[in-house]
Amino acid sequence: MAAPKKALRTDEMVLSMGPQHPSTHGVLRLELKTDGEVVEEAIPHIGYLHRNFEKHAESLPYFQIIPYTDRMDYIAAMNNELGFVLAVEKLMELGGKPIEIPEKAQYIRVVVCEMNRIASHLLAFGTYGMDIGALTPFLYAFRDRETILGLFEDICGARLLYNYIRFGGVSRDLTPDFHHKLRRFLSKFEKNIDTYNTLLTNNKIFLERTKGVAVVSVDEAVQYGWTGPNLRGSGMKWDLRKDEPYSIYDRFDFEIPVGETGDCWDRYKVRMDEMRESVRIVRQALDQMEENGLLDDPNYAAKVSAKLRPPVGEVYFRTETPRGDLGYYIQSDGTNVPSRVKVRSPCFTALSAMRKLSRGLLVADIIAIIGSIDIVMGEIDR
C-alpha cells in the first residue's frame, strides 16, 4: 500500500521590492513575504541613502551644517533648515548670548516654511495618486508646486536645496514683487484644492482603495512615536506649531485638521486640509507684514559672526515639519564645531510601524501604506 500522499507543500514567495522601484519613494527596500497576492510580512530595509549626516556635522562649523540639513528631507528643505537654525539660536540663548532676530526675518521664515509645507504636501498628494494608479493628479500637483519653487528661486536662487534660513535671519531679502506673486498664487491654489478633492480625494475607487486600509489607533500611533499628519490622521490633535509654539506661530490663527479612524485616507486627507491651513497662515503673515510696514524694511538678518561659537551646553529643539516632529539635539563644547548632532526623524518612526501594519494585506495595500505615511528616505537614512 502506497503511503498516503503528503499535502502539497507551498512556500511563501519572498519579493524584494525596491530599492529601485517606482513607488517606494526613494530607495526603500521592502522584503515582502507573499502568499499569492497576500503579504504575510513586509520588512523594510533602510540605509541605501545613508550619508553620515550626524558624523559630518561634528566636523563642520555651524554655518556649514545648514546646507546638509537641506539634504535630509529634500522635499521640505526650508522646514529642516528652520529646525536646525532655531535649535542653534536656542543654544545661544541658553548660553546667555541670544541673537536678536529681526521681525521681518521671523515672518519670512514662517512664510517660506509654510510654502514649503504646501509644496511637500502637494508632492505627497501627487505621488499618492500615482501609487493608487491615477497619473493625472501628479501633474496637477506639480503645476502648483512649480509656482512655489519658482518663488523660492526668486528669493534664494535654488529650487530644491535652499540654504536660505540662516542664524539670525535669512540669507537674502524678499524680491519686491514677491508678495504680489505669492498672493496671486494663493488665491488660485485655494480653488485648485477643490479640484484635487473632486479628482482624487472623493473618487469612489480611491475611497475603496484607502478607506479602512491600515487603520492605526491613537494609542498605537503614540506607541510607535508617530507625529505630524500621520498622528493627526489617527485623530490626535498634536501640532507643535500650536502645542509648543516656536518662531512666531503663536501670532496666527489656524486649525489643526485631524482624521477620524486613522486609515490611509485619513492620513491623506489631513495633508489636503493642512494645505488650506498653510494658505491661511501665509495670508496672515503677509497681512501682518504689510500692516507693520515690514515689506519695505531692509533689515532681514541680524549680524552673526561666521565663526559662531555657541557656549558650552546642549539643546534639544523640535519643530513641526510637513512630516512631523523633527528634533535636533546639539551639544556644544564652546568651539565653532558642534561636538554632537543627533536628529530625531519623523519618517523613521513612521516607517517603523510598516511591519505591523502590512501583515495580511495585499500587495497593492503595501503601496497605499507607504504613500500614506509619506516618507522621505533622505531623512530616514540621513
Partner 1 sequence: MKHPIETAAEHIRATAAEATETLNLGGAWPAGLPLETVILLALAVIGIISVTVVAGIPIVLVLMERKVSAYFQNRLGPTRVGPWGLLVTLADGIKLIFKEDMVPPTSDRKLFRLAPYVVFAASFAVVAVIPPFQSTVIGNMDLGLFLYLAISSLIVLGIIMAGWASNSKYSLFGALRAAAQIVSYEIPLGLAVLMIVMTTGTLNMQHLVMDQADGIHAWYMFRHPFLFIGAFIYFISAVAEVNRTPFDLPEAESEIVAGFHTEYSGIRFAYFFLAEYANAFIVSAICATLFLGGWAAPFPFLSGVPGIVWFLGKTMFLVFIMMWMRWTLPRVRVDQLMSLCWKYFLPISFVNILGTGVLALLEREEIGAQLGGLFLSADAVSWIAFPFILALLGWIAHSGTEPVRRPS
Give residues in contact with partner 1 (CB under 8 A).
Answer: 13, 15, 21-23, 36-38, 129-136, 139-140, 143, 199-200, 203, 205-206, 208-209, 212, 359-365, 367
Please say whether the beta carbons of 315 and 329 come within 8 A: yes
Could you identify the residue written with the cell 500500500?
1
Burial bucket for residue 19 (CB in 10 Å: 0-12, 13-18, 19+)? middle
Nearer to partner 1, 277 or 365 (CB): 365
Q: Which three cell numbers stand for residue 331?
A: 551639544
Q: Which three cell numbers stand for residue 51?
A: 550619508
Nearer to partner 1, 174 or 200 (CB): 200
Q: Smallest distance from the beta carbon of 266 to partner 1, in angstroms?
A: 17
Nearer to partner 1, 134 or 256 (CB): 134
Nearer to partner 1, 129 or 378 (CB): 129
Cβ burial 68-87 (10 Å sphere, 16+ → b, else e): bbbbbbbbbbbbbbbbbbbb
Q: Smallest distance from the beta carbon of 360 to partner 1, in angstroms?
A: 3
Helix (H, G, I), strand (E, B) or coil at 36: coil
Q: Smallest distance from the beta carbon of 42 to partner 1, in angstroms?
A: 13
Q: Smallest distance from the beta carbon of 200 to partner 1, in angstroms?
A: 7
Nearer to partner 1, 208 or 287 (CB): 208
DSSP 290-307: HHTT-TT----B----SS
Nearer to partner 1, 38 or 295 (CB): 38
Nearer to partner 1, 97 or 143 (CB): 143
Helix (H, G, I), strand (E, B) or coil at 80: helix
Helix (H, G, I), strand (E, B) or coil at 344: strand
CA separation for the pair 213, 349 (Å, rounded): 19
Nearer to partner 1, 39 or 304 (CB): 39
CA separation for the pair 156, 12 (Å, rounded): 52
Q: Smallest distance from the beta carbon of 76 to partner 1, in angstroms?
A: 23
Q: Smallest distance from the beta carbon of 35 to partner 1, in angstroms?
A: 10
Cα 310 to the center of its chain, rounded Å: 28
Q: Cis omega (within 30 of 0) on the bond before 19?
A: yes
CA separation for the pair 290, 107 (Å, rounded): 11
Q: What are the C-alpha distances in Å from 10 to residues 17, 36, 378?
A: 21, 11, 38
Please say whether the beta carbons of 66 and 169 come within 8 A: no
CA separation for the pair 40, 243 (Å, rounded): 39
Q: Smallest distance from the beta carbon of 179 to partner 1, in angstroms?
A: 26
Q: Smallest distance from the beta carbon of 366 to partner 1, in angstroms?
A: 8
